[in-house]
Amino acid sequence: MRCLSKKHQKQGEEHGGEIPLPNPDEGTIICGVVRHLGGDYLIAKCLDGVDRKIRIPGKLRRKVWITEGDVILVGLWDFSSEKGEVVYKYGKNEVNKLVEKGVVPKEFIDALSELI
């Protein structure tokens, strides 16, 4: 039996073991981190082709390390569609599963790695 650390146990419980997917009704979209701005803000290139200013919320600030080139799930703000905040950071295995499912095009991942 495999023993998971507390961090991984909690992560699995939060999402029921499934990868969170973007939902336009909830205002979430998949983006790739292009650049850190400092002060817990970053610039991300989203699947719809728009560059957005994204905020890292306090609950993720010290728990999840977000670097340039990472793929994240972003919740868009209601009052400004050009801004949002990080909802979830996808791991490398999860990104591969998203590409297999057809949620994220392979070209997006390749273009993201070229921007960095």
Residue 17, in any domain of the structure: no
Q: Which domain holds residue 41?
A: 24-91+101-115
Per the structure, the count of domains in the chain is 1
**Stronger pLDDT, 4 or 7, i.e. the higher one:** 7
Asked whether the beta carbons of 47 and 31 are under 8 A apart, the reply is yes
pLDDT at 5 (0 to 100): 42
Residue 16, in any domain of the structure: no
Indicate whether 28 pLDDT > 50: yes
Residue 3, in any domain of the structure: no
Residue-wise burial string across 46-78, b where 16 or more C-beta atoms lie within 10 A, e elsewhere: bbeeeebebbbeeebeeeeebeeebbbbbbbee
Cα separation values, 102 from 41, 83, 98, Å: 29, 25, 6
Asked whether the beta carbons of 88 and 70 are under 8 A apart, the reply is no
Closest by CA position to 15, among listed 95, 87, 74, 70 = 87
pLDDT at 1 (0 to 100): 35
Residue 67, in any domain of the structure: yes
Q: How far apart are CA 84 and CA 108, in angstroms?
A: 20
Asked whether the beta carbons of 45 and 34 are under 8 A apart, the reply is yes
| CATH label of the domain that carries residue 33 | 2.40.50.140
pLDDT tens digits along 5-22: 444 444 444 556 788 999
pLDDT tens digits along 36-93: 998 899 999 999 989 999 999 988 888 888 999 999 999 999 888 889 999 999 999 9
pLDDT at 14 (0 to 100): 52
pLDDT at 51 (0 to 100): 93
Residue 52 φ then ψ, to 5°:
-125, 150
